[in-house]
Structure 1
């Protein structure tokens, strides 16, 4: 009998847990009768009573839920890795705790896995969110498709079902400051894409802040693209060419006896521009160096405080 492990990272989701657990359990009726579903909820160092809500749900539905309590907040992607490490299923799925991703897609995704597809992606074709959140999300995924992984489906994704082999390969990588979903694509397995409309959050307040989104963009670009380093080289060569041409121009003026331009303002602009470029270049190089140092330390991605089995 195949087992599906549904991994749910949780951070400040106290209000969502009772509703999410009910929806997930009710959705099991759509699966084939031979499937066993286990739920692995990972508490990512929440500061509210998320852990208490999970423990109450576990007592309400005995034998159905495993709770992995992390010692501190390590980010949703590392929490997902922790869930993968504690899941026992033949295949696994990742879904958000706030039900913005529709659980009713899971049986369809599972059917593709039964056909031998090792990675099934729920693709956010549209979203009920509007305004700045929607614009930033579209910009992020547009940049990633152009600069990093071209096989990312438009609109991005964080709702997936994947084979245990995919989970095993991701866990082997021990990637830090990366994007666990893009790592699944990077492995090279063929995938099926199922478009859907992402729902608006109904309960609680999202903790997915602008600073976390910016960090994810930087992490994803540096982990999967050489464009930042190549951009430094290209801009440096361009500035060198401009400097060479301007030098030839000054020499020509000197040789032919023309008046040399006063040029103090122009010189200051050039100096400031070049200095700014050097600082940006050092910052980009520093990001790569810091990530290398962080990987060399080999600190754990997460620390488990306690696991409550189903």
Structure 2
């Protein structure tokens, strides 16, 4: 019998875990024709999440526990779960109950028709308009400059074949987007739309700074656009400088300029310094990623596994 692995990254989700397990048991496990395992990955939670995970494991022998030594981030936690799962395919499931559990069956159905990747795309979300706008903006920008196959509105959950699981685990990339890697792999892909629910239990730890980091990792990890943009600005600035130089020389020869232009000189200096700093910042982001990769530190460290 084929086996499905359900990977759930856990970070300060002590209150969600029992409702999540009951929801999965009722809406997924009871209807599955496949064998399955539920892989819970504690991403360095400081609440009672791991204790609840241990209690659930006593109730169900198909639950696999993975505890990371500290908080490495959600994508690293998912990767840790993928490295320990044994299924023919694996699906990422959020612990916050904002995704309908039954969509896993829909994703599995699409997988059985020959698709090696199935994305759970956000058709709508019961969340504030600002959050919707930011999410849509991120997906649109990624689609335009980095990953053309990014679905409109983006996605969080996915189902992938064992071939892709092994690929992602072998890559061991850091400072990257796991979702971007799934899209980058280029395998036959299907989508399952769903409405993201409003969170009713607990508080989200998906902070603005983490969202910004994900956006930067996605841009720098899958697009050369930032460095091309800086190069383009540099070329335009060079042309503008040459034109300004010619105009200045002509005016000087015609006697229009009788004194040094302090304001003009200051503006040019500030623009030049700003451009140099911007260029160094973009180049520095790429150099940091090269340096981080050469150190070969693992993207996650497993403390316990049961």
TM-score by length of 2: 0.97
**Alignment match, 1:303:** 301
Where does residue 238 of structure 1 map in the other structure? Answer: 236
Where in structure 2 are the equivalents of 1:123-142 lying within 5 Å? Answer: 123-142=121-140
Deviation at 1:62? Answer: 2.6
Match of residue 221 from structure 2? 223
238-247 or 166-175, which deviates more: 166-175
Are 2:11 and 1:11 aligned? yes
Count of matched residue positions in the alignment of Structure 1 and Structure 2? 306
| Residue aligning to 2:281 | 283
Q: Secondary structure, in 3 states, of the residue corresponding to 1:40?
A: strand
- Match of 1:50? 49
In the alignment, the residues of structure 2 paired with residue 40 and residue 193 of structure 1 have an alpha-carbon distance, to the nearest angstrom, of: 23
Q: Is 2:23 the counterpart of 1:23?
A: yes
2:237 aligns to what SS in structure 1? helix
User: For each residue in 1:221-280, what CA deviation from the matched residue of structure 2 results, as whole angstroms up to 9, or x when unmatched?
Assistant: 000000000011100000000000000011112233333465311221221122112111
> Match of 2:69?
71
Q: Distance in 1 between matches of 2:8 and 2:47?
A: 17
2:194 counterpart (169, 193, 196):
196
Give the Cα–Cα distance (whole angstroms) in 2 for the partners of residues 259 and 158 of structure 1: 61
Instruction: Tell me the residue number matched to 2:210.
Output: 212
Contact kept, 8 Å, 1:96 with 1:159, in 2: the verdict is: yes
Contact 2:120–2:155, Cα closer than 8 Å, also in 1:
yes
Q: CA deviation at 1:28?
A: 2.7
Give the match's secondary structure for 1:267.
Answer: helix
**Is the 1:253–1:260 Cα contact (8 Å) retained in structure 2?**
no
Aligned to 1:179: 177
Cα-to-partner distance string for 1:120-160 (whole Å, 9 max, x where unaligned): 00001211111432222122112111111011001111111
Q: 1:247 corresponds to which residue?
A: 245
Deviations along 1:167-215, one digit per CA (max 9) or x if unpaired, are 1111121111001111011011020011111111111110000110111
Correspondence for 1:41? 40
Kindly state the Cα deviation for residue 55 of structure 1 after the two structures are TM-superposed: 0.7
Most deviating of 138-147 and 211-220: 138-147
Whole-angstrom distance in 1 between the partners of 2:201 and 2:65 = 21
Distance 2:163 2:27 in 1: 25
Shift of 1:283: 0.9
Work out whether residues 55 and 67 of structure 1, in 8 Å CA contact, stay in contact via their aligned partners in 2. Answer: yes
Q: Secondary structure at the match of 1:120?
A: strand
C-alpha separation in 2, matches of 1:277 and 1:259: 27
* 1:265 counterpart (263, 266, 270): 263
The CA deviation at 1:41 is 0.3
Equivalent residue in structure 1 for 2:103, among 102, 105, 114: 105
Q: Does 1:292 align with 2:268?
A: no
Contact 2:28–2:102 (Cα < 8 Å) also in 1: no
C-alpha distance in 2 between matches for 1:218 and 1:262: 43
Unaligned runs of 5+ in 1: none
The superposition leaves residues 86-132 of structure 1 with CA deviations (integer Å, 9 ceiling, x where unpaired) of 00000100010011111111111111111211000000121111143
2:28–2:104 Cα contact (<8 Å) kept: no
Asked if the contact 1:222–1:288 (Cα under 8 Å) also holds between the matched residues in 2, the reply is yes
